[in-house]
């Protein structure tokens, strides 16, 4: 075997893709530098031909000596058998360490009617002992009908940071979330979806993107509502994070000092219980936050003794870690209250949270999980319809084999935390469950790495089943054949953005062709708003930034006119119709689609033109800074929200009912 063939064979066996199909439908091969870099990220030494040969030999040796699989997915409640090579004794151990079954076998271990959960199968034969990690998922994740009793539902999505109120000081907070969700629930919405609320990091002064967290298993403290309030926010449309954080953090510091000095015994006891229940992960996260204040947000630049959790880090963090534990307690308290308020308002699902793709590479999640993180790479996306230049997100990825070796514990814990706070969870870039696009630090072109799709789906469905949480997988982009079927088969709803659902000529699909087992929407935080789409504002931004060659802007505006004509045809929109009526007509037709879940954007309901985010940009566009034009206290009286129940009935309406709703919304 030649050196190049050996490298390709090692890559294939390790799950590194040798080629992929790009946006133009062309096969794009991964060159040797990419293969070596991605193998290195997986923890497979491949920098020399000798190292490649050694790695291949090691893999062959393990295949010859390993008698049982390292893990197996066995659907709960169904009989299953694991073949064994001969006489052996075995025991099945549950998550809590309790031995639940024992036996002996000559040819196979029969495991019937296992409950939902995780187990370890210990097997011993003549001179050998091995373990098999068993994932026992339910038939599928909870469905909308199981969770709510309805086959169809609808809700509203909006940026938490963009909420205005008389007390938040300029950035939406968890108390505003409760008020907004309550008002929307009384308007008939069954969920309120918001941007990720993962922790961004106390020392990350420049970080504002909710999709660039320090840790996805802890919460954003920028959204904590101080007990004293901060007064009304500025009247401007854009958020000044630096000014807000200065005032907000001073209020939190003062509140914590008062809690330590004179907090009620009831609150003190509740805080202690929270810390005990959260355990070591909270201690490590709090230590990281305290150390980041001393040494900066990226732990790679810290003194060597503090670059991993442990006694040295705890001692250096000192009493300051207590403040960061308290912040997480306050955040969780307020999110729980917001969910309770949402449900009390009539929302059957309540909060709709978002799981970001990954954490920042220098953040707490990487620091706390060094043994599972891929080295020397960041994750992103190849060129697609969201970003013609491709995207490098500068986020870390868990290496599949390392994550499996740790029994998927980081993912399990993270999902448990989030799903326990909401009724609906969106998994951003769900394609990453099947394959991830990794970009090497050495500058080599990016490539795809396979993920343990079946095992990851098992973890998601187990945790969703335990929490009673409905799950949506954001499956936009270059979708491989069979992926959606696998996603839907596990009970995860797809994600259908109407402005992307088009034929090769750009004609948008009829709403009745939207996928039934999906959450459908016209726009998202990553797309132009409905008004922006209609007027081609996104095309103007692309031209301003320099993404469009000379003359292409005119071509794109021509395509957009074609897309507008398709919407006119589908929705009965006349040539002289104003944007308010256009928006109502589009939402009216979206409501009549077969999609199980339909989401409307606050931006679209309020007629906002500019988008919340322009993917692929950082400073060229004011991402994550836009405020809504209406304060949460005014939501009950806001015209578009007060009339929205007429436009979005919960169940399949008749055409006559829908027409009455449309007319009511336009009065």
pLDDT tens figures, 81-113:
999 999 999 999 999 999 999 999 999 999 988
- Checking if the pLDDT of 666 tops 60, the result is no
**pLDDT range class, residue 644, cuts 50, 70, 90:** confident
Per cent of the chain over pLDDT 90 is 86
Q: What is the pLDDT of residue 481?
A: 85
How high is the pLDDT of residue 13?
94
- DSSP state letters, 163-184: -B-SSSTTS--HHHHHHHHHHH
Confidence bin at 587 (pLDDT 50/70/90): very high
What does the pLDDT look like over 338-351, one tens digit per residue? 999 999 999 999 99
Q: Distance between CA 538 and CA 497 in Å, rounded?
A: 16
Sign of CA dihedral 193, 183, 332, 219: positive
pLDDT digits (tens, 9 = 90+) for 529-568: 999 999 999 999 999 999 888 789 999 999 999 999 999 9
Q: Which range has the worst mean pLDDT, 16-30, 143-157, 424-438?
A: 16-30
CA 254 to centroid of chain Cα atoms: 33
Concatenate the DSSP letters of all residues of 468-513 into one string: T-EEEE---SSPPTTHHHHHHHTT-BEEEEGGG-B-TT-PBPPGGG
Tally the C-alpha atoms within 13 A of residue 515's C-alpha that lie toward its C-beta: 20
Q: Which two tokens stand for residue 147?
A: 């969770």
Task: Supply the pLDDT for residue 385.
Answer: 62
Query: What is the rounded CA–CA span in Å between residue 303 and residue 308?
Result: 10
pLDDT at 384: 67
Task: Enter the tokens of residue 135.
Answer: 């994932």
Q: How far is CA 388 from CA 128, 475, 497, 549, 630, in A?
A: 54, 18, 18, 12, 34
At 422, the pLDDT band (50, 70, 90 cuts) reads: very high
Predicted confidence at residue 555, as pLDDT, reads 93
Greater pLDDT, 11 or 25: 11
CA distance 165 to 634: 9
Q: Is CATH 2.60.40 what the domain over 76-136 is classified as, yes or no?
A: yes
The yes-or-no verdict on residue 388 having pLDDT over 70 is no
Q: What is the predicted pLDDT for the residue at 480? A: 85
265 close to 175: Cβ distance less than 8 angstroms: no
pLDDT tens, 249-285?
Answer: 999 999 999 999 998 999 999 999 999 999 999 999 9
pTM strictly above 0.85 = yes
pLDDT at 518 over 90: yes
Residue 386: band (very low, low, confident or very high) from pLDDT cuts 50, 70, 90: low
pLDDT band of 665, cuts 50, 70, 90: very low
What are 356-365's pLDDT values in tens digits?
A: 999 999 999 9
Confidence of residue 485 (pLDDT cuts 50, 70, 90): very high
- Nearest CA to 95 out of 114, 119, 123, 78 is that of 119
Burial grade of 64 (CB within 10 A; 0-12, 13-18, 19 or more): exposed
The domain spans of the chain are: 76-136, 165-347
Listed range (84-88, 165-169, 657-661) with the worst mean pLDDT = 657-661
Q: How confident is the model at residue 654 (pLDDT cuts 50, 70, 90)?
A: very low
DSSP state of 384: -
Locate 343 and state its tokens.
């449900």
Per DSSP (E only), the strands in 298-402 are 350-355, 377-381, 391-395
């Amino acid at each position: 075997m030649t050196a190049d063939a050996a490298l390709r064979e090692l890559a294939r066996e390790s799950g590194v893709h040798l080629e992929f199909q790009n946006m133009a439908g062309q096969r794009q091969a991964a060159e040797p530098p990419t293969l070596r870099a991605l193998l290195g990220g997986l923890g497979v030494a491949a920098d020399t031909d000798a190292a490649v040969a050694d790695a291949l030999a090691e893999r062959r040796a393990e295949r010859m000596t390993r008698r049982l699989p390292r893990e197996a997915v066995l659907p709960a409640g169904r009989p299953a058998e694991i073949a064994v090579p001969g006489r052996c004794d075995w025991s099945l151990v549950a998550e809590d360490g309790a031995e639940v079954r024992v036996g002996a076998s000559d040819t196979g271990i029969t495991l019937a009617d296992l409950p939902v959960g995780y187990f370890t199968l210990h097997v011993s034969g003549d001179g050998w002992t091995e373990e098999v990690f068993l994932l026992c998922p339910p038939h599928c994740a909870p469905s909308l009908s199981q969770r709510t009793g309805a086959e169809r539902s609808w809700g509203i999505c909006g940026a938490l940071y963009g909420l205005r109120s008389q007390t938040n000081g300029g950035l939406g907070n968890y108390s505003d979330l409760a008020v907004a969700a309550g008002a929307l629930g009384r308007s008939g919405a069954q969920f309120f979806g918001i941007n990720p609320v993962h922790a961004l990091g106390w020392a990350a002064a420049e970080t504002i993107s909710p999709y660039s967290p320090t840790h996805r298993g802890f919460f954003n403290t920028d959204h904590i509502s101080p007990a004293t309030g901060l007064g009304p926010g500025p009247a401007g449309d854009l958020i000044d994070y630096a000014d807000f954080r200065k005032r907000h953090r001073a209020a939190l510091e003062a509140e914590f000092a008062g809690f330590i000095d004179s907090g009620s015994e009831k609150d003190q006891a509740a805080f202690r219980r929270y810390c005990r229940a959260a355990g070591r992960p909270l201690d490590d996260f709090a230590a990281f936050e305290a150390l980041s204040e001393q040494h900066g947000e990226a732990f790679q630049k810290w003194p060597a003794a503090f670059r991993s959790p442990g006694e040295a880090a705890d001692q250096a963090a000192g009493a300051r870690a207590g403040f960061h534990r308290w912040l997480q307690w306050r955040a969780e308290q307020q999110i729980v209250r917001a969910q309770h308020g949402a449900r009390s308002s009539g929302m059957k699902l309540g909060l709709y949270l978002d799981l970001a793709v990954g954490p920042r590479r220098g953040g707490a999640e990487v620091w706390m999980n060094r043994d599972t993180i891929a080295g020397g790479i960041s994750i992103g996306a190849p060129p697609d319809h969201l970003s013609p230049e491709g995207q490098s997100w500068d986020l870390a990825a868990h290496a599949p084999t390392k994550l499996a070796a740790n029994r998927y514990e980081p993912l399990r814990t993270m999902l448990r935390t989030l799903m326990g706070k909401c009724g609906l969870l969106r998994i951003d870039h769900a394609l990453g469950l099947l394959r991830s696009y990794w970009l090497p630090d050495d500058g080599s072109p990016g490539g795809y790495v396979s993920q343990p799709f079946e095992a990851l789906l098992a973890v998601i469905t187990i945790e969703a089943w335990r929490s009673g949480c409905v799950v949506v997988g954001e499956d936009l982009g270059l979708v491989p054949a069979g992926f959606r079927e696998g996603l839907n088969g596990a009970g995860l709803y797809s994600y259908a953005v109407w402005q992307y659902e088009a034929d090769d000529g750009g004609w948008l699909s009829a709403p009745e062709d939207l996928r039934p087992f999906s959450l459908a929407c016209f726009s998202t935080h990553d797309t132009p708003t409905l008004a922006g789409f209609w007027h081609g504002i996104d095309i103007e931004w692309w031209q301003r930034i320099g993404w469009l060659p000379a003359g292409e802007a005119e071509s794109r505006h021509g395509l957009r006119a074609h897309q507008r004509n398709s919407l006119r045809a589908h929705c009965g929109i006349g040539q002289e119709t104003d944007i308010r009526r256009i928006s109502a007509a589009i939402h009216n037709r979206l409501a009549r689609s077969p999609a199980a879940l339909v989401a409307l954007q606050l931006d679209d309901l309020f007629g906002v033109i500019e988008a919340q985010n322009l993917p692929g940009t950082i400073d060229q566009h004011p991402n994550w800074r836009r405020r809504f034009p209406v304060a949460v206290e005014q939501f009950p009286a806001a015209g578009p929200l007060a009339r929205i129940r007429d436009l979005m009935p919960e169940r399949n309406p008749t055409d006559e009912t829908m027409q009455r709703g449309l007319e009511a919304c336009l009065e």
